Structure formats: structure tokens, C-alpha cells
Amino acid sequence: MNYLFDPAHWSGADGIPTLIGEHLLYSLIALAVAAIIAVPLGIYIGVTGKGVFMIAGLANALRALPSVGLLILLVLLISPAFPSRMGYVLPSLIVLVLLAVPPILTNTYAGVRAVDAAAVDAAKGMGFRTMKILTDVQLPCSLPLVLSGIRSALLQIISTATIAAYISLGGLGRLLIDGKAQNDYSQMVAGAILVALLALFFDQLLAFITRRVVSPGLTRRTIKPVPAAEPVKTPVTV
């Protein structure tokens, strides 16, 4: 605990804020790339029913991937091609993206599949064109599952991003790896706590966003009618 409260550790090029910044940078880039790949693919598979085997086969296979092993393999393959830090950053990102794709892909697919077939039929029968059915019915209705896929992907990314430090990159993993090397357990504990807090924070943030953007008609939350604004009595100062 002492490690966390020592002001010396909160500044400088390898201070905690920098590490958190790096950690988040890797995580968010990986999440964005994963979402850009998995969401459209999931929608396509869900709507057309083509490539369903990918969901069961590929997605589950990716889940079983040993991240550290893959990371080292990728470094060996990729780093010779890039002389700079890129040779290390790229493998880390690839591993994180591969981890994040399955939950987003399967959830998006499941979300689109779960949209009430009668609602889609009604939309078509009323004269909605294909694109409008997608944007007005299928997407909004599958949003809760898509977002929950993104949420579990982000959790996994944030906790796994520590492995970037394994190949001498930054991020909160530094505290774990360096602490281990120096037998500095308080540093390791600090690292673990910070990763956990970061994950919790982003989980809650995404939960909050989900509540804001998903229709209460889907989550079955009863929204209380907003009470008529009561006139606020301002104290009169004499």
C-alpha cells in the first residue's frame, strides 16, 4: 500500500499517471479496432445467416488462445520487420484485439438474431427498405447485447493489457513485472489494485452509457414519470 501513497511514484516518465495513460491507450485502441471488425461482421452474420460457423468455431477458438504465448510468437515474427517500438506495440495490440473480437462478435450476432422476427416482418410489410429495417429496428433492438459484448471485451482487454509490459512496453503491467523482478511486493500489489480499479471504473462507465442509450422498452425498466417541477422557493435576502 505504501507504494501507492508515495508521491514520488505519481510523477515522472514512469510515474503511475503515465502508466495508466499508456495502459488506457493500448486498451482503447485495441477495443476500437476489435469493435470495427466484430460489430459489422456480427450484424452481417446475424442478418444474412451466412457464416454462422464462424461464431461457433472461430470465436470459441480465439477464446482459448494463450495470450502470453501468442504475444511472444508475434514479437518474434513481427519485430524484425519494424525497427522501432512498433515491433513490440503491434504484437500487443494484435493479441488484445484477438481477445476482444469473440465476445463482441458473438454478442452482436446473438443480438441481431434475437430481434423479434414479427417486428422485422411488420417493418418490411409496412414498406421499410432493407437499410431502414437495419437502422430503425434491428440495430436499436440488438444494442443491449452489442454493448454488453463490448463491456466484457473491454474488461478482458484492460486486465490483459498488463502483458504488454512483458515485452518491455509501458502500462500498469510495468508495476507487476518490475515489482516481481525487484521482489517489491508492495509495487506488485499497487499494480494489481490499479488494474482492478481501472477495470471497475470502465465497467461502470459502460453500464452507465448502456442505461443512457438503450431504450427502456428493451430493458424493461419502468421509467418513472418526471414529476412536474416544483416551484423552487428562493430564500429572500433582505
Contacts to other proteins by CB under 8 A:
116, 118-129, 136-137, 140-141, 215-218, 220, 222, 225
| CB-nearer residue toward other proteins: 212 or 220 | 220
Rounded CA-CA distance 105/29 in Å is 17
Q: How far is the CB of 128 from other proteins (least distance, A)?
A: 7
Grid cell at residue 134: 437495419
How many Cα atoms sit within 13 Å of 76 on the Cβ side?
6
The least CB distance from residue 222 to other proteins, in Å, is 8
CB of 151 to other proteins, least distance (A): 19
Q: Whose Cβ is closer to other proteins: residue 43's or residue 176's?
A: 43
Q: Which is nearer to other proteins, 119 or 207 (CB)?
A: 119
Choice between 127 and 227, CB closer to other proteins: 127
Instruction: Output the smallest distance, CB 113 to other proteins, in A.
Output: 15
Q: Taking the complex as a whole, how short is the minimal distance between the CB of residue 47 and other proteins, in angstroms?
A: 17
How many whole angstroms from its chain centre is CA 170?
19
DSSP single-letter state for residue 85: T
Nearer to other proteins, 224 or 233 (CB): 224
Quickly count: other Cβ atoms within 10 Å of residue 216's Cβ.
10
With b meaning 16 or more CB within 10 Å and e meaning fewer, what string describes 187-197?
Answer: bbbbbbebbee
Closest separation between CB of residue 123 and other proteins, Å? Answer: 8
Query: Which residue's CB is nearer to other proteins, number 196 or number 218?
Result: 218
Long-range contacts of 215-223 (CB under 8 A, 24+ apart): 215/140, 215/143, 218/140, 218/141, 218/143, 218/144, 219/144
If you write DSSP's letter for every residue of 46-64 in order, what string do you get? HHH-TTHHHIIIIIHHHHT
Rounded to 5°, angle at Cα 56 from 51 and 57: 85
